[in-house]
Amino acid sequence: MVLGGVALLVCIISFVAQTIITRRVQESYVQPYFILWVSHSFWIVILPLHTVYEKLKRRPRSLAALKQDALVASAKLIVQRRRSHAGARLESSSSSLAANAYEPVNTTEADGAATGDEDGSRALASSRPGWVICRMIGLTAMLAGLMNSSAYLWYVAVGFTSMSKVTAIYNMSCFFAYLFSILLLKERVQVVKCAAVGISIVGVALMALVDTGADVQALSEAQRHALRNTELLGDLLSLACACGIGLYQVLYKKYAVPSDYHSLYHVNLMTTLLGASTLLLFWIPIPALHAVGIERFRWPSAQQFAYIASNAMFGVAYNGGFMIALALTSPLFAAVGVMLTIPAMAAVDMAIQGHVLAWSVFAGGAAILAGFATLTYAEYCDSVRKTDPMADTDSSPPPSIAAPTAAAA
């Protein structure tokens, strides 16, 4: 538990450092997509670092065992998707064929889907490892597209509004994840969770729409109007980023997390593949943005590139720390702990920017924290019902989403 707390502290420090560095470097180098591309490409080192860690442990695991672990988890995803598609076809068939819904799903032996359990996954991983990895590469390429496009909005928003507001609004991604879980994962609608979403929306509205007041009194009316419009644009970009990241997390849960098979090594394989996809494919928007005039590309100076590289390394530290905290504690502890970035960024805003934040920022941040606490309580109650043998069998706990997080990374 202590090591998990230390890992969580690393997450918070890394997130704050990334936000500060991104804001600082964009004062002289306004290339948010290039900064994002470098940062996410650095994720390619996460699996090698995990491999080194596994070899240095008191009880090291062999490379063959690690490879098999990742392949079996990846094969299980393929088996699950095939069985899910087969089940959907059976459900849509006529009532006269309803009895067939309990018959085994017939698939080829090469696909290892005859049983759909771990044995079938191991058979597929052993017989067609190259094909399994190719499927994972294709999956991560699609997920990387959504992740990078959403995270790009975060990098742009940092230049328009305060760091504390960007951080608070970004943390709303968990609420969007719940909404998309209802739509895509068929999670049961619960009043308490809907109330949590409503409270968080009120918080964002307070932060985005209430006039900042005291810190702009010295400005002219035209300047105040321009400042409000600029901050509102930054807030809306942050909100769109949170929505996109929430959707990404749910899709990651649905397509990239095998059920009943927990492998941190596989998680880091997926993260590394996301980094590789970004490095090899998502450099293409850089010349495209240059051609249309949105971001005129120029190479950073040595000092600017040092900032960008530091930002990328903090991104690796953030994701590594979060996954360690997740493994050593619980998803709820990790998620609640990351919310501490909201007051941390508020304090940094006052210390670095040299101005006192408006009451609406504190009130909105408090509302978002209250909404998250409500959602956390609802998830805890769900987990208790799941482990209680006398619990309602219809209740289904929310997905434990452990996707590599993208913003400020």
Q: How confident is the model at residue 150 (pLDDT cuts 50, 70, 90)?
A: very high
Query: Is 105 in contact with 117 (CB distance < 8 Å)?
Result: no
CA distance linking residue 323 with residue 100, whole number of Å: 42
The pairs formed by 297-301 with CB atoms below 8 angstroms and a separation of 24 or more are 297/31, 297/34, 298/31, 300/25, 300/29, 300/31, 300/34, 301/29
Q: How confident is the model at residue 240 (pLDDT cuts 50, 70, 90)?
A: very high
Q: Is 333 helix (H, G, I), strand (E, B) or coil?
A: helix
Residue 130: is it exposed, middle or buried by C-beta count within 10 angstroms (0-12/13-18/19+)?
A: exposed
Does the pLDDT of residue 112 top 60, yes or no?
Answer: no
CA distances from 237 to 150, 170, 244 (A): 9, 10, 10
Element (H, E) at 1: none
pTM: 0.78
Which tokens go with 399?
Answer: 């997905």
Q: How big is the chain by its Cα radius of gyration, in Å?
A: 23
Does the pLDDT of residue 389 top 70, yes or no?
Answer: no
Q: How confident is the model at residue 114 (pLDDT cuts 50, 70, 90)?
A: very low
Select, from the ranges 80-94, 248-262, 340-354, the one with the highest average predicted confidence (pLDDT): 248-262
Which residue in this structure is represented by tokens 């999670």?
187
* Mean pLDDT score, 177-205: 80
Which tokens go with 179?
Answer: 């909404």
CA distances from 11 to 15, 96, 166, 320 (A): 6, 55, 17, 8
Select, from the ranges 1-15, 112-126, 151-165, 273-287, the one with the highest average predicted confidence (pLDDT): 273-287
Q: Closest by alpha carbon to 146, among 283, 247, 229?
A: 247
CA distance linking residue 20 with residue 295, whole number of Å: 21
Q: Is 389 helix (H, G, I), strand (E, B) or coil?
A: coil
CA distance linking residue 160 with residue 158, whole number of Å: 6
Q: DSSP letters along 30-97, please?
A: --HHHHHHHHHHGGGGHHHHHHHHHHHSSSPPPHHHHHHHHHHHHHHHHHHHHHHHHHHHHHTS-GGG
* Mean pLDDT score, 247-254: 87
Q: How confident is the model at residue 300 (pLDDT cuts 50, 70, 90)?
A: very high
Query: Is 366 in contact with 203 (CB distance < 8 Å)?
Result: yes
Q: Is 319 helix (H, G, I), strand (E, B) or coil?
A: helix
Amino acid at 395: S
Q: How confident is the model at residue 86 (pLDDT cuts 50, 70, 90)?
A: low
Residues whose CB falls within 8 Å of the CB of residue 306, separated by 6 or more in sequence, listed in order: none
Query: Is 341 in contact with 166 (CB distance < 8 Å)?
Result: no
CA distance linking residue 295 with residue 159, whole number of Å: 14
| Structure confidence at residue 230 (pLDDT) | 82
Query: What is the number of other CB atoms lying within 10 angstroms of the CB of residue 240?
Result: 17
* Mean pLDDT score, 25-36: 90
| Structure confidence at residue 139 (pLDDT) | 92
Residues whose CB falls within 8 Å of the CB of residue 282, separated by 6 or more in sequence, listed in order: 37, 40, 144, 145, 148
Averaged pLDDT of the chain: 77
Does the pLDDT of residue 275 top 90, yes or no?
Answer: yes
Which tokens go with 31?
Answer: 């290339």
Q: How confident is the model at residue 314 (pLDDT cuts 50, 70, 90)?
A: very high
| Structure confidence at residue 399 (pLDDT) | 44
Q: DSSP letters along 96-133, please?
A: GGGGGGGSPPP--GGGT-SS-SHHHHHHHHHH-HHHHH
CA distance linking residue 172 with residue 339, whole number of Å: 10
Q: How confident is the model at residue 70 (pLDDT cuts 50, 70, 90)?
A: confident
| Structure confidence at residue 104 (pLDDT) | 45
Q: Closest by alpha carbon to 339, among 145, 138, 200, 185?
A: 200
| Structure confidence at residue 220 (pLDDT) | 63
145 or 378, higher pLDDT: 145
| % of the chain exceeding 90 in pLDDT | 20
The least confident of 46-55, 205-214, 266-275 is 205-214
